[in-house]
């Protein structure tokens, strides 16, 4: 059976998986699964992933796997998207865990509330916005030193971080103060052939 | 130079690193670094880790590494704490990312607010408590099927998840409804020789 990806196209976490599979040339069926329409809360879906989250993939042999960053680490093993050097690989993982803990809960949540729940950017929680800008500033500082987050090549760290950074303005978070971030988004999109 | 670990002994994230290094027999100097006393916000510390978070380690060659789960993945590579089977390894990573996104922000935060900021459990945010119990219930469901989270042996998934689960009652979160979780805590503590 073909690899199946249960994903919501509006979710950066899900797009990470699509971009990685496309980059690696791995054929897959994309099964559009809407979070807003609670399609991640059906009995069938919860049997695949009790956490009720997308992305969830079902491997060719029928076994499920969840968590965007775990999924892309699994498929990219041995590819150019994971540095061979152990320290560089560890730094890549550092960025990926930081993304889920200190970036996504602010940058992605602001965008979800504004773009999908209809909240005005002015009504966002001030602490949320401050933390989102703190995360963007940290990226800006890091990207002053190099073309990509780890070394000279695009890695899973860039895929994980670009997913919600590139759509931050949809959450009312301007990228104007972050020129290095803007240039990096263009580089990562080019490396991954992201056109939309 | 000896490996240095900047850690706060009250932090489960920091203890993950200590337990893993001890299990692997890797000598290290522990440099107690208090979050409550803002020792993670000094100029010297931010030079090591711009995110201002513990744990942060400094390798023997002077290079820093942060994020608890990235650190333990780095040191445990090739050891029995990481399953050799690619799918089992991916499931371990799934649990580790889930921990940082869907468990730590609720279970650890409740404990921090009660045990270290002096908040009464009754005054905790109801949504926080509900999500903490949701995370504990998910562990209970998963642990009904096996001795450890992934396969038959203790892995980094267990280390990552046990860190705050074992101290959940300090945040007013009773483990009484979760007998499989309680038995698993005892097993993981025995496997890692955790005595305190």
* Predicted pLDDT at B185: 98
Q: Phi/psi at A39 (nearest 5 deg)?
A: -75, -10
pLDDT confidence bin for B196, thresholds 50/70/90: confident
CATH class of A4-76: alpha beta
CA distances (Å), A181 to each of A10, A136, B105, B108, B154, in order? 21, 8, 27, 32, 40
Interface A–B counts its CB contacts (< 8 A) at: 92
Rounded Cα–Cα distance for residues A78 and A85 (Å) = 12
Contact assignment for A67 to B94 by CB distance below 8 Å: yes
- Whether A74 has its CB under 8 Å from any CB of chain B: the answer is yes
Q: Are A146 and A152 in contact (CB under 8 A)?
A: yes
Which two tokens mark B178?
A: 């979760």
- Residue B124 has what DSSP assignment? S
Query: Which residue in A68, A91, A100 is closest to B100 by CB distance?
Result: A100
Which of B93, B96, B144 has the most A C-beta neighbours within 10 Å, making it the best mutation to test the interface with A?
B93
Rounded Cα–Cα distance for residues A55 and B130 (Å) = 23
A residues 9-68 near B, CB within 8 Å? Answer: 50-51, 53, 59, 63, 65-68
* B119-160 per-position pLDDT tens digit: 999 999 999 999 999 999 999 999 988 899 998 999 999 999
For residue A73, the chain B residue with the least C-alpha distance is B90
- Whether B182 has its CB under 8 Å from any CB of chain A: the answer is no
Domain boundaries, chain A: 4-76, 86-192
Which of A48, A97, A99 has the most B C-beta neighbours within 10 Å, making it the best mutation to test the interface with B?
A97
Return per-residue pLDDT of chain A as tens, 196 residues. Answer: 899 999 999 999 999 999 999 999 999 999 999 999 999 999 999 999 999 999 999 999 999 999 999 999 999 999 999 999 999 999 999 999 999 999 999 999 999 999 999 999 999 999 999 999 999 999 999 998 889 999 899 999 999 999 999 999 999 999 999 999 999 999 999 999 998 7
Query: Domain A86-192, what fold?
Result: Glutathione S-transferase Yfyf (Class Pi); Chain A, domain 2 (1.20.1050)
Rounded Cα–Cα distance for residues B72 and B88 (Å) = 17
Q: Which residues of chain A form beta strands (DSSP E)? A: 4-7, 29-32, 56-58, 64-66
The whole-angstrom distance between B13's CA and the closest CA on chain A is 12
Rounded Cα–Cα distance for residues B44 and B39 (Å) = 9
Query: Which residue in B70, B91, B101 is closest to A90 by CB distance?
Result: B70
């Amino acid at each position: 059976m073909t690899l199946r990806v249960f994903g919501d196209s509006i979710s950066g976490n899900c797009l990470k998986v699509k971009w990685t599979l496309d980059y690696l040339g791995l054929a897959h069926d994309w099964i559009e699964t809407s979070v807003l329409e609670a399609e991640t809360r059906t009995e069938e879906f919860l049997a695949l992933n009790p956490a009720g989250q997308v992305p969830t993939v079902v491997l060719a042999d029928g076994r499920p796997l969840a968590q965007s960053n775990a999924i892309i680490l699994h498929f990219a093993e041995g590819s150019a998207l994971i540095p061979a050097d152990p320290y560089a690989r560890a730094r890549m993982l550092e960025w990926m865990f930081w993304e889920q803990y200190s970036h996504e809960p602010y940058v992605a949540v602001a965008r979800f509330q504004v773009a999908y729940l209809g909240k005005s950017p002015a009504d966002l929680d001030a602490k949320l916005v401050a933390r989102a800008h703190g995360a963007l500033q940290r990226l800006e500082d890091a990207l002053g030193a190099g073309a990509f987050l780890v070394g000279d090549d695009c890695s899973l760290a860039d895929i994980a971080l670009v997913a919600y950074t590139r759509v931050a303005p949809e959450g009312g978070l301007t990228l104007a103060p972050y020129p290095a971030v803007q240039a990096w988004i263009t580089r990562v999109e080019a490396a991954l052939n992201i056109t939309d």
